[in-house]
Chain A
């Protein structure tokens, strides 16, 4: 019994930092409608800065001054980021905002690496709170007790801030209706900056508070962000109290899950989130969110199957690609195969995003499931490669069917966050369930069959798979199903009123996309001869997103080009610099800022700008009123 009480208290203590980070994210989203992926990075930065400060500042006062100062310094950096970067992308689609803030996360990772080095750092214990209190005969760290008290205190302080100050009232008003607040003459710019700074302060504070408890390390950012997303989704975006309730729930689940079965806590978290979302799609205290961002359908020009000329060109390129083994050596061919696998992966995401309008932030899950599926088939069942290449996509399909069932109930930013959370859960299982997946050591010895083992043969195999995937997915875009899917994306109201079920259609698309991603993963496992949890990690999902964006979200299969360019660029980049994350992150941020409508969208609006103006004049001469009269 006493063990449970102590475990409960540990859970509450864990909830404090989780709550601080989550409510910061929630408040920022409520007002600015930006899902700040970099939140985890600021949490980690808070911990690192606090580590350095508390080493230099002595005593009780010094320790706490160090913690607060760290949060303030990081918050200032956050304010700077808001003014320099986010202000430029508030109007961009939410996907771009997520990407840009992820780019920042990548850059922070390398910067942290440069300043503090690679090793884990153990910070000082809090002076005067090193000891433990006896609770029912078992010791509970005094510092935990402090955290337990701190959580509700911060919640109370935030409540006072939001309900008793003019600024707080404005924040709440902006959460309800930004346009109205702007119409009342409130300077949105500074309101947004203020809210963002507050949110970052809370995250950094949460991170700084962790230093007496755990070693400061490089994985803090991504591990907290996944939990924070889960908390925010369960609690409801924009709700502080919801974040608190959800943080306690998740922290307790983790605390007790560890007692029952060490590996099961993650599955528990997933189950609870699933149940909550089915019962309350907007979380405990959330409301449906409406964003002003344009959907893909509004900016997309009509798609057409390839013209005969285009088909000939494509066939010629495929033949050219098939002839490459004549000139390339083994290294070149293995890069070629890697690019072709990236093509399959990118196309699978593009089908879901461009045709389906579903912005997935966790596509790595299905890639990784395909890879692990193939590896299991080889390692456990001694199946030949040919069958493993079927098992892999099937694993992707099953994963997509399970996760997709929940995901397609949501849309927009909730959908993106949920896909990310599922991908992170899959990653954690691969990482932690060492007996089955080999954990960090991965699964080795995933080699192709005899006939496909030469570099050229395997290259041709991937080429065939890539061509087939592109052709099939392109065919689907123009099939009756593809019409339905695009219809749902363009106008779900119209789609429902001509007999199309949004959820069912998107579910099928999600499953198809997951299967194709699984194929890419399976081929990837055979290319490398091994598979590691990295394949399931967030950066893999981001790779796919960037490839699609490079190729053009508004195209049917532009990601093929995107995948080729991006894969070659990153391989070259890795060989040229040690700071690949800094460069890649900077590149992503640049992409988003320079082309806020996506590359293809930006290019076409740039070139057709004058045309639109001319057309506008012509239309203006016809008496057409565009706005509908209100009648409700």
Chain B
């Protein structure tokens, strides 16, 4: 494992009007690491995420991917560096079949205008290799629009992986999925990340998913990182507990009475 971080974020800040959505966030991500970014609604997770992915420009601070400053780069330029991305609401090409969706990824970075070849033939083998990897080979010819949402999410992951990325950004990978599907998807992601030494940055609300798979967890509240570390340390962090469970003015009394059972 190399020791150079894939992703370095320094002092990243963003404000909308008077609202400081993200302020002074600093962290880094190593190859093969699963890093979770959690926090309550409105904490700035998605903003943070979109600044790393190039969807939103930052006000301040620096994002370096593979040592390169990506300020001002568009999402597609960042993708070309070797960064895969999935979205909170899965973004796939609904009018195409599963295989065609993956083929489209290969069609996108084929050199030249791409006017002469037939995409379905040119990229078939590559696309099927990716579908095999993600366990969707049997669905290859299904129209995307007919798929259950969990499978659509899986397909999106396949598209993000098709580029053979070194860094994967996943905004709420499990959102909208059934409990069993969540676990399967994240287990799959974790396995591939370990095998290929991909660094994964993900946000998530499902704590089971987070604590089962994250190597490291960052907690964001009101735009600021309030905790960072191993899952166990974060779980026991008093500030994190305060953010997630409230200040405890009510619970404290209950706890004092010995009735509370905080998990």
Contacts and interface: CB of A to CB of B under 8 A. Distances in A.
A631 interface: yes
A631 B159 contact: no
A486 B114 CA distance: 13
A610 interface: no
Given A625-B176, A627-B176, A302 B122 contact: no
A623 B179 CA distance: 9
A628 B204 CA distance: 12
Nearest to A630: B41
A8 interface: no
Interface string B147-183: 0111000001001101100000000100111110100
A631 to B, nearest CB: 6
Interface string B185-221: 0000000000000000001010000000000000000
A480 B107 contact: yes
B76 A301 contact: no
A494 B91 contact: yes
Interface string A291-304: 00000111011110
A482 interface: yes
Given A497-B79, A501-B76, A623 B89 contact: no
A628 B114 contact: no
Given A622-B178, A629-B175, A483 B107 contact: yes
A476 interface: yes
A499 B97 contact: no
A480 B119 contact: yes
A573 to B, nearest CB: 34
Contact of A478 (B47, B91, B94, B119): B119
Interface stretch (B4-12, B80-88, B240-248): B80-88
B137 interface: no
Nearest to B109: A499
Given A479-B114, A500-B76, A632-B41, A297 B95 contact: yes
Contacts of B46: 631-632
A317 interface: no
Interface stretch (B27-35, B59-67, B98-106): B98-106
Nearest to B174: A629
A296 B120 CA distance: 21
- Residue from B96, B149, B177 with most neighbouring chain A CB atoms (10 Å): B96
A508 interface: yes
B172 A478 contact: no
B135 interface: no
A631 B95 contact: no
A496 interface: yes
A487 B107 CA distance: 10
A628 B172 contact: yes
A491 B91 contact: yes
A475 B117 CA distance: 9
Contact of B119 (A483, A500, A615, A632): A483
B45 interface: yes
B74 interface: yes
Contacts of B41: 630-632
A493 interface: yes
B263 interface: no
Given A483-B119, A484-B114, 15 more contacts: A297-B95, A298-B94, A298-B145, A302-B96, A302-B100, A302-B144, A479-B117, A480-B119, A480-B122, A486-B96, A497-B85, A498-B163, A499-B80, A615-B146, A624-B149
Interface of A: 296-298, 300-303, 305, 475-476, 478-484, 486-487, 489-491, 493-501, 508, 615, 619, 622-632
14 contacts: A302-B97, A481-B113, A483-B119, A484-B114, A489-B95, A493-B91, A494-B93, A498-B105, A498-B159, A498-B162, A499-B108, A631-B45, A632-B46, A632-B47
Interface of B: 41-42, 45-47, 53, 74-76, 79-80, 85, 87-89, 91-97, 100, 103-110, 113-120, 122-123, 143-146, 148-150, 156, 159-160, 162-163, 172, 175-179, 181, 203, 205
